[in-house]
Amino acid sequence: MTPPRRYAARASQSIRYACTRACAAAPSRRNSGSARSRNHSATGPASALRLPCRRAWRTIASTRGRRLRHRAIPGVRRTTALSGGIGRGIIRPRTPSGRVGAPCAPRERGAVPGRGSPADPLMIRLLFRRRIAEGYRRELLRVWTPFLLVGITALVATYLLFVEPPPPRRLTIATGQPTGRYHAFAERYRAYLAGFDIALEIRETAGSAENVALLLDPASGVSVAFVQGGAMPPDARDRLSSLASVYREPLWIFHRGDRPYDRLTDLAGKRLSIGPEGSGTRVVAQRLLADSGVTAAGQAAAGAPFEGLPDRQAAEALQAGRIDAAFFIVGPGSEQVQQLIRADGVRLMTLRQHQSYARRYPYLTSVVLSEGLLDLERNIPPAPSPLLAPPAALVANATLHPALVPLLIEAARAAHEPGNLLDAPGEFPSARFVEAPLRPEARRYLEEGPSLLQRVLPFWPASMVSRLKLMLLPLATVIFSIFKIAQPLYNWRISARIYRHYEILRRAQRELAGPPDPARRAEMIATLRQLEEKLATVSVPLGAMAALYQLYLHLGYVRRRLEGEQPSLPPPPPPPVA
């Protein structure tokens, strides 16, 4: 027994003992001769004292299961704290006149407090109520426990079969070279996601082509990557999905020569660096050059095969004259761009057919580098220069948890929404300029914004509620079924406790209908008396007491008929004899 329950039990025993002693001492006070005692002679001081005792019992009953508090009990004045000297303090009961009676003696060692005389009606009533309540609780447990077990099993099965697992706390993103913009933006994404207790691991690669290969490889562990427009092969678009395009990456073509070039056909037979293997620059450059008739076979036949130098080495080789032209897909603030656009003998190629390329390839956009945009003091570039710009996009595979899609879009918004020299503020992230189909969660978030749960709750609670919403329908079905079935079953079990005894009454009715047999009737009368005694132990709720007393009446009626007595009251209609 826990300490609060033990304290309440000991206090209950002390109050019982005090009230019993006060009630037992009442007859001696009734003969004291006082007018106030004579005024109470009709009901008796003992009856007047039992009412405060009953209130005291209710006070004790209200404190069961909780820590006993020092509450005022009508008719009893404490001289010591109940929780400090239980069973040892002096408790003085009040008389009907308001005076304090003689103190009750402390409990003798070995005495059982609260029991009093065997015929104490208050104690009998309390014990009877306690037994009824315990039987009622046991019956409820018998009925409801199987349904609760079935409901819990159904919920667990629904969770395991239909509810997706929680989002992981670690995510891997493939970027590119350590000096590139992909890697720099990934570092900003990592700082943003760290605020939500999600660790972002950055995987350095050669470029977009390798990123796509990692996304297609289930064993790579990469769930999301930066992919440049045009770098995704057609067969990979059905297996991957886009989250958003994040910014434009212009295609810079720098060349050496005395005159400016404005078409890709002017580069035929030249020494060209089109980016390293696995980079998106190489994929886009080969595709555009092939449309203009500049192929790898033709360059090899001319003695100038394609070279795959990294950006830094390609810029150095172009300035040194070891190559004639180089392709770069980087931002306008890139170190290589700033060096080459100011270098002597190096020119920026302007494509006259830029709009035609943009129409042929949806992932390409046409941008114009306005005069003086890169350097107003030196007026660089000296004239408007049209460029092709494949936007970079966030691409994911099926291993990316749906709950992380809004977080990645918000991280991209925090990094790219301010814009740059070529992108207007708020233009990115965008649902346009993507090669792979847009993921449904990303489309919904870009078009409608965060959901109500995401606006009201933090990320992890909102994710849990969003995942568990699939359990609402099974949960409602289970609860409705339990309340629809369990209560009728409970009522049937309670009724069965009463109506099953009518089988004995049916046999007695048959005995009355047949020829009289004294031995059998004596046996049946004894059986009915045993049944009456047994019914005293039957525990039923108050709603079924009417049926129980109907059974008592029927038992008494049939027993008296068997004994040869004439019933004093008109009997209820007997049950039909089968």
pLDDT in the model for residue 117: 46
> Between the CA atoms of 269, 274, 276 and 278, what dihedral angle is there, to the nearest 10 degrees?
-120
Query: Is 416 inside any structural domain?
Result: yes
What's the CA angle centered on 390, arms 369 and 269, to 5 degrees?
Answer: 80
Answer with the residue of higher pLDDT: 158 or 210: 210
The reply to whether 226 and 273 lie within a common domain is no
Highest mean pLDDT among 113-122, 131-140, 421-430, 564-573: 421-430
What's the CA angle centered on 290, arms 287 and 291, to 5 degrees?
Answer: 90
Which amino acid type is present at position 283? V
Q: How far is CA 520 from CA 56, 343, 507, in A?
A: 52, 127, 11
Answer with the residue of higher pLDDT: 272 or 163: 272
**139: pLDDT confidence band, cut at 50, 70 and 90?**
low
Mean pLDDT of 211-239: 93
Of residues 29, 65, 73, 70, the one with CA closest to residue 47: 29
pLDDT in the model for residue 443: 95
Please tell me what DSSP assigns to residue 445: H
**158: pLDDT confidence band, cut at 50, 70 and 90?**
confident
Token pair in block for residue 223: 């769930």
Mean pLDDT of 68-89: 41
Rounded Cα distance between 329 and 180, Å, is: 10
pLDDT in the model for residue 13: 52
Answer with the residue of higher pLDDT: 48 or 546: 546
pLDDT in the model for residue 256: 93
CB atoms within 10 A of CB 220: 16
CB atoms within 10 A of CB 423: 20
Write the CB contacts of 89 (distance below 8 Å, at least 6 apart in sequence).
14, 78, 79, 80, 81, 82, 106
pLDDT in the model for residue 544: 80
The reply to whether 32 and 105 lie within a common domain is yes
Please tell me what DSSP assigns to residue 110: T
pLDDT in the model for residue 175: 94
pLDDT in the model for residue 11: 46
pLDDT in the model for residue 412: 95
Q: How far is CA 86 from CA 92, 109, 275, in A?
A: 14, 14, 91
The reply to whether 508 and 573 lie within a common domain is yes
Rounded Cα distance between 2 and 11, Å, is: 14
pLDDT in the model for residue 120: 59
Q: Give the residues across from 367 on adjacent strands.
A: 387
The upper half-sphere exposure of residue 476, i.e. CA atoms within 13 Å in the direction of its Cβ, equals 5
The reply to whether 358 and 409 lie within a common domain is no
Answer with the residue of higher pLDDT: 515 or 195: 195
Answer with the residue of higher pLDDT: 484 or 229: 229
What's the CA angle centered on 147, arms 142 and 149, to 5 degrees?
Answer: 95
pLDDT in the model for residue 60: 44
β pairing state of 76-78 and 241-248: unpaired
The reply to whether 338 and 368 lie within a common domain is yes
pLDDT in the model for residue 555: 87
Token pair in block for residue 498: 């009463």
Query: Is 140 inside any structural domain?
Result: no
Buried b (16+ CB within 10 A) or exposed e, 313-339: bbbebbbeeebbbbbbbbbbebebbeb
Rounded Cα distance between 420 and 414, Å, is: 13
Rounded Cα distance between 462 and 246, Å, is: 26
Token pair in block for residue 420: 């740059």
pLDDT in the model for residue 342: 93
Buried b (16+ CB within 10 A) or exposed e, 24-44: ebbeebeeeeeeebeebeeee
Tell me the longest C-alpha to C-alpha distance in the chain. 140
The reply to whether 314 and 364 lie within a common domain is yes
pLDDT in the model for residue 20: 52
Rounded Cα distance between 312 and 4, Å, is: 78
pLDDT in tens, 379-397: 999 999 999 999 999 999 9
Query: Is 560 inside any structural domain?
Result: yes
The pLDDT of residue 64 is above 60:
no
Please tell me what DSSP assigns to residue 386: E
The pLDDT of residue 578 is above 60:
no
Dihedral of CA 298/303/307/312: which sign? negative
**239: pLDDT confidence band, cut at 50, 70 and 90?**
very high
pLDDT in the model for residue 508: 87
The reply to whether 176 and 266 lie within a common domain is no
The reply to whether 92 and 210 lie within a common domain is no
Query: Is 577 inside any structural domain?
Result: yes
End residue of a domain, out of 101, 117, 133:
117
The reply to whether 343 and 269 lie within a common domain is yes
Q: How many domains does the chain have?
A: 4
Mean pLDDT of all residues belonging to the chain: 78
Rounded Cα distance between 261 and 253, Å, is: 10
The reply to whether 414 and 379 lie within a common domain is no
The pLDDT of residue 148 is above 60:
yes
Query: Is 129 inside any structural domain?
Result: no
Token pair in block for residue 561: 């008929």
Domain that holds residue 31: 3-117
pLDDT in the model for residue 106: 44
Residue 320 sits in a domain of what CATH number? 3.40.190.10
Highest mean pLDDT among 14-18, 290-294, 528-532: 290-294
Rounded Cα distance between 219 and 200, Å, is: 18
Q: How far is CA 449 from CA 189, 243, 398, 412, in A?
A: 19, 14, 22, 14
Mean pLDDT of 458-483: 80
Establish whether the linkage from the previous residue to 440 is cis, with ω within 30° of 0.
no
Please tell me what DSSP assigns to residue 220: G
Q: How far is CA 378 from CA 12, 258, 358, 374, in A?
A: 98, 21, 30, 9
Query: Is 460 inside any structural domain?
Result: no
The reply to whether 359 and 407 lie within a common domain is no
pLDDT in the model for residue 77: 43
CB atoms within 10 A of CB 408: 26
End residue of a domain, out of 428, 449, 470:
449
Mean pLDDT of 416-445: 92
The pLDDT of residue 9 is above 90:
no
Query: Is 187 inside any structural domain?
Result: yes
Query: Is 396 inside any structural domain?
Result: yes
The pLDDT of residue 75 is above 90:
no
**325: pLDDT confidence band, cut at 50, 70 and 90?**
very high
**124: pLDDT confidence band, cut at 50, 70 and 90?**
low
Residue 552, phi then psi, degrees to nearest 5: -60, -45
The pLDDT of residue 290 is above 50:
yes
The pLDDT of residue 568 is above 60:
no
Mean pLDDT of 99-109: 44
The reply to whether 258 and 217 lie within a common domain is no
Write the CB contacts of 540 (distance below 8 Å, at least 6 apart in sequence).
135, 494, 497, 498, 547, 548
Q: The tokens 């109506």 sit on which residue?
A: 499
Q: The tokens 């996009």 sit on which residue?
A: 393
pLDDT in the model for residue 221: 94
pLDDT exceeding 70 applies to what percent of the chain?
Answer: 73
Rounded Cα distance between 210 and 232, Å, is: 10
End residue of a domain, out of 449, 468, 491:
449
pLDDT in the model for residue 128: 61
Starting at the edge strand found earlier in the chain, the sheet holding 325-329 runs 272-273, 325-329, 251-256, 346-348
